[in-house]
Structure 1
Amino acid sequence: MTGRQWVLALSAGEEAERHAAVASLVALGPAALPALMGELRDDTSPVTETALLSVLCSIGASAFDPVLDVLQDAVPGSHWRALRVFTRLGTPALEGYLRALAHDDPFVRRAAVMGINDCGEDALPVANLLVPLLGDGDEEVRRAAVRAFCSWGAVVVPLLQMVRRDGPGTARGGALECLAEIGGEAAVSARDRAALERLVQIKLMDDIPVPISCCFLSWIAVSTGDQAGVMEMLGLPAAYPVPFSAGVDAADCDSHGGLDDDPHHQYRRVFVTPELAGWTLVVGSWCDPSAAEREAAVLKACEHLSARYGRAQAYWYGAQSDGSAVLVAERGETVRRLAYIPGDDTQHLELGAPLAYEQDCRTALGLPALTAEHLEVDEDDDEWMWELLEMATKLAGELSIDPLSIDADTPARGVGLLALTEYGRRLGAPCGALRL
């Protein structure tokens, strides 16, 4: 069989035939590379990337330059096949990746960083050679370098701290971002913290509200501008000022927590807005009125806040049609709580009589009014289910303020604060660089 026939045999239906093809191509060594590269270039080839890699990795370092040539020649938009193979050549290609860090094409530099990152701990001895990429002129390359250092974790903290101290200057910003992602405040020097505080103060001088848009958005709205009083009642003593957009970014990042070993990590921090059109919002997963760990505490908090300020509401909203949850408290009592989360049993959250807003929505849809005997959602009631999915933000717009509608024209007074909750004080502040 010819080299190309052996390559095509990598996609054979019989496992024995595929194994024989791998063995034959590895035996051919560099002589098999032209045929392998032909299939790598062909996006319609039946030979999978995994099959090509099994041979290329066995051939070793001599495969690097041919794969690099294919990557450079790939047409933008159809280069993903070559990119995935290039970045997974492994430790034998480490020397080639290091050479490619100086390539003129930023796409190749980024691919080289990704390949080095894929080498895992084997790349740690040469991590210092990636430092200049933390200040690369191409943002995608710089981001790839940041991700690589962050993936290596605490072991590269001394190197990053040295970059902050001694340079190169262009890499200092990227190094600081990595330190914040890896170790949070504990990994950042007092000098850097002071510099960041000065930067925050400068940005706060012309800070403006922006839409509070998160993939999973939870918030408590209180009808007052007494930010300090709200925080005192919620037990939020540890706080520092941040630009509005940075607070929103922090809330969004935190809302993706709960997927690691400790589901309480997502509750460690909240963003407390300045007064917005007469309301103060507390934003973060800690405010979710439907979360099993938080539902009782959020209900109690809203009742206490409404006893003092007249009205307090809590909401949860999933931006990808994940559902809504609503809690409305007035003058110390819960008036209404409901939730609709597809696939979840939320009937136990149902409290109070339907709000006028709910009944008005059903009337507009030509649906019968909700009654004590008819509160559950009928599975075939598509129009009402779609309404419930959006209930949190729409109801907030009627009763208080819709976070998604906040913008530079929203009346604002004061500055936003990031505050640690009881979870944050116990588990530590979340790691991660604020997007200032």
Structure 2
Amino acid sequence: MDVQHWIGLLGAADDRTWTNAQNELVAAGKDAVQPLLRVLHEDSTPRAEQACVTVLQQLGLFAARGLVETLASLRSSGVVSEDADRVARRACRALGVPEVGQALYYAQRLTSERIPERRNTADVMSVCGELEFAPLLVPALADTDESVTESAVQSFGRFGPAAIPLLQRVRRSPAPERRGALAALAQVDWRAIEPADVMAIHRLIMRKLQAETPRPYPIPDGFEWYAVPTEDQAAVLDAFELSDPVPATMAMGSSVSGCGLRYVSPAFDGWTLVFGPPVPACRLDDHRRMHELDHAHGDDELMALARLTMSLNEPEPYCVELSRRFGEAHWYKEIGEGSYDSGGWCIAVDGKNIRYISQDAHELTDLSESDRLHHAEEGLRGESVSDWLAANGFPADMWDDIFGEILGDHMFQRLEAPFDDAVADRWDEFARRTGIPARRSACTVAERASVGPHMLGPATRVIGHGVLAHTICGRERHHGGAIVI
């Protein structure tokens, strides 16, 4: 018998027939969704209405998108009537969300044709703490636009552990949203990922590692890493007080944030890299305080957070201590020209600070024990482009004018090459014409003194594979956050 036959029996007076009809429609799965959604709009008996809502509830994720679209259509029509109100209440019961106008508001915005409206609504729902409306957000986990899906994943992450049961139901289903649900579970808490998925992820990582070859990784503004001259990864894990290492690709390491995890690279040409600052046990109380201040709003608390963060991330004492163990240790933090962040580099040898340069958008500050340039810094430019040009007989705004031309061509879609490539090509030509040296920065110093992620390539000698490992902070706190494999 077909679906429509069982739809006709949802109002049956005989309990056995009534129950059989519901069971058959649940077994029909997604094929029953649209006929059931039509029943929502009909002036049916209370018994048929109850059965329809019950079946839609059991179909769950098969019906979620259709139910959200039903609510959205009621809101969009602008018709406020007894019939529309009845349909809305039925749909809300089937979805398991409060039977109030806010559900219609969210549903309309989450199904809007405008991508920014869908994306912003996904963000706002969790910011406002609207956990009871989370089922409305499920279809966004498979939105046609990746930015909307990413917003939904982040939003579920902010909902926290309370969202885990819903996400696990989505993940266990054959619904198209199951892939997004896995990312959302990772965003909430890695421990919420079920064993079968953990094993599948592990197999994927191992396949990626087998195929991973050294290649340059772009260094984002504000990225920092430590480099020590050793191929002994276990010794590096011990020196950084890291535990529970698991195999990881460099893409995974590059996408980790916070203080709970650190990426330790394989040995590249005899150097091992660690992404991010150490988290020593002696500073655990300070990290706890930092997490308490993360949600601060008052000026005094924000200032305290800024001072504490700077203290925790101060690289010199770590470099000096690491150099006592490994003979040498480097720290690098790359910032672009015009960046509002601060960065620099630190090189320690045998327990002594050889070079420590703090860099911001305008100047280099030498905090070294010695005022002599390191050999890796020689011939590099310390001043801004405009200052160098003015000091060497060129118009100070010469490069600014060239960059403005490129930006204008980009805005009016006159560039044949990607914007970054066009800038790089014009800079190379500009450097040949003017003789301007390369900028003295973390990346250029690393190229000459040790190793950085941006330097890797086919000629790089690799021993071992990278790992992600817990800091003491990560061992104390659960870790969440979707990362790129």
TM class, shorter-chain normalised? 0.5 to 0.7
- 1:8-35 superposed Cα distances (whole Å, 9 cap, x missing partner): xxxxxxxxxxxxxxxxxxxxxxxxxxxx
CA spacing shift, 1:99–1:379, aligned 2, 3 Å: closer
Match of 1:303 in 2: 323
State the SS of the aligned residue for 1:286: coil
Match 1:269 to one of 261, 265, 269: 261
Question: Aligned-pair distance for 1:159?
Answer: 0.7
Asked whether the 8 Å contact 2:316–2:356 carries over to 1, the reply is: no
Matched-pair contact (CA < 8 Å) for 2:320–2:349? no
The higher radius of gyration belongs to 2
1:41-120 equivalences under 5 Å are 65=76, 92=101, 94-95=103-104, 97-98=106-107, 105=113, 107=114, 111-112=117-118, 114-115=120-121, 117-119=123-125
Aligned partners of 1:213, 1:285: CA distance in 2, in Å?
16
Q: 1:383 to 1:298 in 2, by over 3 A?
A: farther
2:334 counterpart SS class: strand
Query: 2:202 & 2:377 partners in 1: Cα distance?
Result: 49
How many Å apart are 1:333 and its aligned residue?
A: 3.4
Q: Match of 1:170, SS?
A: coil
Equivalent position to 1:312, from 320, 329, 338: 329
Corresponding residue number in structure 2 for 1:401: 451
Q: Is the 8 A contact 1:209 1:407 kept in 2?
A: yes
- Give the 3 Å change call, closer, same or farther, for CA 116–270 of structure 1 in structure 2: closer
Instruction: For 2:357 and 2:104, locate their aligned partners in 1 and report how far apart those are by CA, in whole Å.
Output: 59
Check whether the contact 1:323–1:389 (CA below 8 A) recurs between aligned residues.
no
CA shift in 2, pair 1:319/1:422, >3 Å: farther
The residue identity in structure 1 corresponding to 2:344 is A
**Deviation of the 1:398 alpha carbon:** 0.7
Aligned length: 315
1:187 aligns with 2:195: no
User: Shift of the alpha carbon at 1:325?
Assistant: 2.1
Task: Map residues 144-293 of structure 1 onto 2, 5 A cutoff.
Answer: 144-165=151-172, 167-182=173-188, 184-210=189-215, 211=217, 213-250=219-256, 254=257, 266-286=258-278, 291-293=310-312
Distance apart, 1:284 and its partner CA = 1.1
Q: Is the 8 A contact 1:134 1:174 kept in 2?
A: yes
Contact 1:221/1:282 (8 A) holds in 2? yes
- In the TM superposition, what whole-angstrom CA distance separates every residue of 1:154-200 from its partner, at most 9, and x where no partner exists? 332221122223x1442222111111112x22322333322222221
Which amino acid in 2 is paired with 1:170?
P
Note the C-alpha offset of 1:435.
0.9
Secondary structure of residue in 2 paired with 1:395: helix
CA distance in 2 between partners of 1:221 and 1:273 (Å): 10
- Amino acid of the structure 2 residue aligned with 1:130: L
CA contact (8 A) 1:303 1:331 kept: yes
Kept in 2: contact 1:97–1:113 (CA 8 A): no
TM-score by length of 1: 0.61
Query: Does the 8 A contact of 1:149 with 1:178 survive in 2?
Result: yes
Query: Offset at 1:351?
Result: 2.0
Residue 481 of structure 2 is matched in structure 1 by: 432
* Offset of residue 204 of structure 1: 1.4
CA contact 2:106–2:121 (8 Å) conserved in 1 = yes
| Structure 1 portions without partners, runs of 5+ | 1-60, 68-90, 255-265, 366-376
**Runs (5+) with no aligned partner, structure 2:** 1-71, 79-99, 280-308, 392-435
Cα drift, residue 397 of structure 1: 0.7
What is the aligned-residue RMSD (CA, Å)? Answer: 4.0
What is residue 341 of structure 1 aligned with on the other side? 360
SS at match of 1:361: coil
Counterpart of 1:360 in structure 2 is 378
Offset of residue 129 of structure 1 = 3.5
Q: Deviations over 1:117-149 (max 9, x none)?
A: 535558543422332331234433423432332
Distance (Å, rounded) in 2 between the aligned partners of 1:397 and 1:345: 19
State the distance in 1 between where 2:355 and 2:122 align. Answer: 54
Separation in 2, partners of 1:136, 1:122: 22
Q: Aligned equivalents of 1:355 and 1:122: distance in 2? A: 54
Contact 2:261 2:468 in 1 (8 A): yes
Aligned residue for 1:328?
Answer: 347
Q: Would the alpha carbon gap of residues 233 and 123 (structure 1) be closer, same or farther in structure 2, given more than 3 Å must change?
A: closer
Q: Deviations over 1:194-229 (max 9, x none)?
A: 222222112212012341523322211122222222
> In the aligned structure 1, how far is the partner of 2:321 from the partner of 2:148?
46
- Cα deviations across residues 314-345 of structure 1 (Å, max 9, x unaligned)? 22222454443222223443322222235899
Question: Which SS does the other structure have where 1:318 is aligned?
Answer: coil
2:466 to 388, 410, 416: 416
**Which residue in the other structure is 1:392 paired with?**
442
Write the letter of the residue equivalent to 1:115: T
Q: What secondary structure is seen at the aligned counterpart in 1 of 2:211?
A: coil
Distance 1:313 1:429, change over 3 A: farther
Q: TM-score, normalised by structure 2?
A: 0.55
Whole-angstrom CA distance in 2 between matches of 1:410 and 1:331? 26
Aligned-pair distance for 1:395? 1.1
